[in-house]
């Protein structure tokens, strides 16, 4: 899935292999897409010469299967890469990773574990990928983020709906 996303020729010139820092007119740093953030800089410092970080992002949002009758829902999950320029990354052609019915949290977590099972190993060992420019490079994929609404995050992390998934309590 990751290899298929990276090798798309239309991304040539719109795929970031190294982190970028943006600055405003007054010299103040601007944080924009993933490839401008601190996480990519930190991860890039840990890679070997000639390698690059592949920022894997997950997206999920529960939706109803039927509008007029019934109570069945699905939860489509999509994978995209933070290295891709946002103007191209937000296209409807993002690769669907999985489509699961709304099921118990344990089963949902097992599905996610299966989807991302190889990610940690691939980060440690690296993976050869054909890039948009046709060159073969060594990349290290890392799950860099997950985009979901509040209730989806509550289900994803198995937290109480009255809790905040961002704050930590003493």
Residue extents of the structural domains in the chain: 2-157
* % pLDDT > 90, the chain: 25
Three-state DSSP class for residue 85: coil
Distance CA(141)–CA(132), nearest Å, equals 16
- DSSP class per residue in 150-161: HHHHHHHHT--T
Per DSSP bridges, beta strands 29-30 and 22-23 are antiparallel
pLDDT interval class at 92 (50, 70, 90): low
**Tokens standing for residue 93:** 């052609």
**Choice between 1 and 119, residue whose per-residue pLDDT is larger:** 119
In this prediction, residue 110 has a pLDDT band, given cuts at 50, 70 and 90, of confident
Residue appearing with tokens 């020729």: 9
Answer with the residue of higher pLDDT: 50 or 99.
50
CA distance 125 to 79: 21
Instruction: Give phi and psi for 49, each to the nearest 5.
Output: -55, 130
Residue 106 scores a pLDDT above 70: yes
Can you count the helices (H) and strands (E) in the chain?
6, 8
Residue 67 confidence (pLDDT):
64
pLDDT by residue (tens digit) across 23-82? 999 999 998 888 898 888 888 888 888 899 999 988 877 776 666 666 666 667 778 888
Question: pLDDT digits over 135-161, tens only?
Answer: 999 999 998 888 888 888 887 777 787
* CA neighbor of 84 nearest in space, from 3, 5, 14: 14
For the segment 119-126, the average pLDDT, to the nearest whole number, is: 90
Q: Model's pTM, two decimal places?
A: 0.79
Three-state DSSP at 101 gives: strand
């Amino acid at each position: 899935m990751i290899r298929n996303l990276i090798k798309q020729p239309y991304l040539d010139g719109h795929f970031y292999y190294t982190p970028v820092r943006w600055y405003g007119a007054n010299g103040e740093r601007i944080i924009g897409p993933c490839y401008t953030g601190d996480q990519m800089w930190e991860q890039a410092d840990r890679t070997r010469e000639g390698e690059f970080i592949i920022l894997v992002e997950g997206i999920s949002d529960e939706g109803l299967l039927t509008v007029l009758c019934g109570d069945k829902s699905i939860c489509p999950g999509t994978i995209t890469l933070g290295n891709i320029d946002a103007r191209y990354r937000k296209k409807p052609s993002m690769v669907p990773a999985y489509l699961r019915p709304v099921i118990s949290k344990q089963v949902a977590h097992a599905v996610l574990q299966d989807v991302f099972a190889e990610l940690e190993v691939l980060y440690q060992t690296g993976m050869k990928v054909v890039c948009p420019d046709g060159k073969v490079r060594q990349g290290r994929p890392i799950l860099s983020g997950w985009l979901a609404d509040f209730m989806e995050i509550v289900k994803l992390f198995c937290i109480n709906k009255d809790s905040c998934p961002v704050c930590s309590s003493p």
